[in-house]
Structure 1
């Protein structure tokens, strides 16, 4: 039986997800299809239609929070504790009319720091952006670190960019969850000067294929990474949820990376 999968987002100009899941299908010998589904306005009707047509799907920018809110109007919905805390979803599984919502981005974040052998404890962390990905990062890191969120669209408890001079000297990790640096925003710059962050150790872009212009002023001693490790790790977790497999990150990472490098 073929498992019907896909990814929903907008504008979804570039995504490695179909290629990644094809690779996971080959590794596991599980037959899947994985479709790219660019949807600008995600409505309850579309949500219900997808649940009829697919066995599972990923959610990416800008719908991760919206699907959580819409799920409150559906019957037979199961939400993971992470989803209820973050209020954002990246993985949907449909099985016998039960719709299960998960957030495997948490796995992706944790796996990234493990892969880098970066001790993410007792750090001052600045998250750029306030959407679903930012909330996920805050959920994953707040227990053992001091976490700040800064956004143009300031929410309760968030900082504005004009507040950053007060804390810039303490920040050791910056996580960019905004789409800046990725198509179609590859020529736009962050509204902050990275030179102000004298203790910075790591600049972590959640996006992948991010333009180097975005971090061009970083000192050479600061590590800069994109979201490729996170992308692969969260995909493996999603695939395991949908298929019942137990593929480990280290078993699949190199093969997937080779495949997406070739796609580039």
Structure 2
């Protein structure tokens, strides 16, 4: 049986085992998928122990280990390189280390967050080609979605953040003239079509800094956080003129689907999983 896991600390709240078991049932694949909570100082040791099992194929990585996972990976995809963070590891063929005759695991590292976001934006019936997208926040969540959004054909990708140096750094590293960082005065003249809150503010019932951000032409306000009820950001965006609002539950499922495909080469259906999880959250 193929083995998978999600590494995080804390990790008890993770929906990943439920999601991947649903995918496996769809695809008629037998898997085991565990939640692993290594000590903060021993992620590397726990990861090595997991992959000592020859049946271990891959794993997901969540906070606070995404950055360390990027350093431990043998190869990184483009999104993971820019983000400096990995949420999916896939075991490749092992080589033998002559000094102790043990196999050395080679791990490919991916960041599937951006692919998940783009897929869920499309689920919301939002066109991305030639659109102006504003990202609020300049942390790892923003970094991980830059290139998948650009690959979707955006006209402009705008980044704003309380600390503008961080937004400017991401824009410069993106290597694409469509990516710009805007401060508060610059935002006053901006009319984005899609606004994405990449911060975790909603988890604490708080709003990111929305000063000078216009929602009057916003087709969709998207919060990467998900909750049983609409988040505070979603509610505020609608009050400020956004046509529609959505949370990040679909992104969670879509990024998991991308990981599942990396591991198994199978493409599960995401809509029934999103609907089932939404029902569970509302109970």
What TM-score do you get using the length of structure 1 for normalisation?
A: 0.80
Q: Which residue of 1 aligns with 2:210?
A: 192
- The answer to whether the 8 Å contact 1:30/1:243 transfers is no
- The answer to whether the 8 Å contact 1:25/1:31 transfers is yes
Listed as ranges, the gaps of 5+ residues in structure 1 are: 72-76
Q: Secondary structure of 2:201's match? A: coil
Task: Find out whether 1:150 has 2:160 as its counterpart.
Answer: yes
Task: Find out whether 1:91 has 2:88 as its counterpart.
Answer: yes
Q: Which residue of 2 aligns with 1:116?
A: 124
Task: Find out whether 1:214 has 2:220 as its counterpart.
Answer: no
In the alignment, the residues of structure 1 paired with residue 157 and residue 85 of structure 2 have an alpha-carbon distance, to the nearest angstrom, of 18
Q: Which residue of 2 aligns with 1:107?
A: 115
Does the C-alpha gap of structure 1 residues 155 and 69 become closer, same or farther in structure 2, counting only changes over 3 Å?
farther
Q: Which residue of 2 aligns with 1:253?
A: 270
Listed as ranges, the gaps of 5+ residues in structure 2 are: 94-104, 172-180
In the alignment, the residues of structure 2 paired with residue 3 and residue 138 of structure 1 have an alpha-carbon distance, to the nearest angstrom, of 32
Q: Secondary structure of 1:157's match? A: helix
Task: Find out whether 1:228 has 2:249 as its counterpart.
Answer: yes
Q: CA deviation at 1:211?
A: 5.0
Moved more, 81-90 or 233-242: 81-90
Q: CA deviation at 1:225?
A: 0.8
Number of equivalences: 250
Q: CA RMSD in A?
A: 2.9
Q: CA deviation at 1:133?
A: 1.9
Q: Which runs of 4+ in 1 moved over 6 A?
A: none
- The answer to whether the 8 Å contact 2:141/2:198 transfers is yes
- The answer to whether the 8 Å contact 1:169/1:199 transfers is no
In the alignment, the residues of structure 2 paired with residue 88 and residue 180 of structure 1 have an alpha-carbon distance, to the nearest angstrom, of 20
Does the C-alpha gap of structure 1 residues 12 and 130 become closer, same or farther in structure 2, counting only changes over 3 Å?
farther
When Rg is computed on C-alpha atoms for both structures, the one with the higher figure is: 2
Q: CA deviation at 1:49?
A: 3.3
Q: Give matches, 1:1-264, under 5 Å.
A: 2-12=1-11, 14-39=13-38, 41=40, 43-53=43-53, 54-71=56-73, 77-96=74-93, 97-142=105-150, 144-153=154-163, 154-155=165-166, 157=168, 163-170=183-190, 171-182=192-203, 185=204, 187-193=205-211, 196-209=214-227, 212-218=231-237, 219=239, 221-244=242-265, 246-248=266-268, 252-264=269-281
What TM-score do you get using the length of structure 2 for normalisation?
A: 0.75
Q: Which residue of 2 aligns with 1:74?
A: none
Does the C-alpha gap of structure 1 residues 41 and 241 become closer, same or farther in structure 2, counting only changes over 3 Å?
same
In the alignment, the residues of structure 1 paired with residue 185 and residue 215 of structure 2 have an alpha-carbon distance, to the nearest angstrom, of 9
| CA deviation string 1:139-175 (max 9, x = no partner) | 222353322223345426159x992242144133221
Q: CA deviation at 1:51?
A: 3.3
In the alignment, the residues of structure 2 paired with residue 199 and residue 62 of structure 1 have an alpha-carbon distance, to the nearest angstrom, of 36
